[in-house]
Homo-oligomer: A and B are copies of this chain.
Amino acid sequence: MGTVKPSIDSVRGFQVAGVHAGLKKDGAPDFSLIVSEVDCVAAGVFTRNKVKAAPVLLDMQRLEENPKSIRAVATNTISANACTGAIGLKNARASANLVADALSIVAEQVLVMSTGVIGTHLPMDKIARGVELSSANLGSDWRAVAAGIMTTDTRPKLGSITVNTDAGTYTIAGIVKGAGMIAPNMATMLSVIVTDAELLLPDLQSSLSSAAQQSYNRIVVDGDTSTNDTVLLLANGMSGVSVASDAELDAFQAALNALAQFLAQEVVRDGEGVTKFVTLNIVNAESEADAERIGQTIGASVLTKSAFYGSDANWGRIVAAAGRADTPFDPDSASLRVAAGESVASDAPGLEIFSGGMPTDYREADAAAIMAEPSITFTLDCGIGEGAATIWTCDISHEYISINGDYRS
């Protein structure tokens, strides 16, 4: 297995385009299209919010009814097409119809994604313009596609990984958008991952679910969960490499996990107003689920995030957040270390600042020097079991408030 690189050269059989359809006022790419030359097996993971956007409802239905001959994914920005009732569902279908007509395929082969303001109807004239322009300009500019799904993101986020096997080489590549409203259970995040490997549908879906659980579901920007979260995985088999045996599936899973974690972390790094990237290793909790819950509670704590922003090693807020997670926790058994940089391991190094229910006699200057770094790792050893999970999160800054105080204007 290779390593993830932050770019995509090409993935056999896929063509893409990111264009300006007139949705964004500044002329930036605002509509994107990903097309496979041949039918794809496709899997999806969607928001658990009870308020689901029209494109989510449509894609869920298509993956239920027609998961083995997907050909295209179209994404628009500016309007989330959420809370738009029957009109919204009609517009989502109409968008897919436009793509199908342009590509001479059938509508059931098209998936759609939307991101932007909730409660506004899709401007169908601009969607039509986006379909027209993108379908006429298909190529291999994956960076433009990643740019075409951005909202308050500051940069395109994309990555790829190549896997060499005895039967040949295949690639897994993906794009993601995030920024605000990112939380456990995926929040306003759209991601499309494609591969030219060949997989059976059940294997593809279980690989995606497993990867999402270890990546997109383990990041916290602001604790909110959106109406539109979607992660899609399309496999077109054009590499001729079949992934079917346990060993082949393990290799695929490892590569997919690495890519999904890279993309998920990119979302945190590019979160709204983020100045610090924080890795939270929760180890020796009663179970993995407990470790995850503790990490997510810490990551979503506004008080803790404010302290990260202020470069304050306020371990008290971290321990207090752990104490209110709905899970077994005993401060007297717990210890907390902090280190500069990123380290995902139960034995991550660092300065121990809390142990046995009390702060250690660490020097505040030492902690402050670590906290001043742009990337920090906290390792919370719960001391009561063997469950572990790593959560990636960030600080909350003045800029976050500015962006979200006036988003719709």
Contacts and interface: CB of A to CB of B under 8 A. Distances in A.
Contacts of A403: 306
User: For the complex formed by this chain, how many copies does it contain in all?
Assistant: 2
Nearest to A53: B320
B324 A50 contact: yes
Interface residues of A, number: 67
B358 A84 contact: yes
A328 to B, nearest CB: 8
B404 A331 contact: no
Given A354-B119, A356-B85, A320 B226 contact: yes
Interface in A217-231: 222-227
A303 B398 contact: no
A397 to B, nearest CB: 6
A181 B303 contact: yes
Contacts of A51: 319-320, 322-324, 329, 331
B324 A48 contact: yes
B401 A309 contact: yes
Contacts of A329: 50-51
A302 B396 contact: yes
A301 interface: yes
B119 A316 contact: yes
B408 A331 contact: no
Contacts of A304: 224
Interface of A: 48-51, 80, 82-85, 87-88, 117-120, 180-181, 185, 222-227, 300-304, 306-307, 309-310, 312, 314-317, 319-324, 328-332, 354, 356-359, 396-398, 400-409
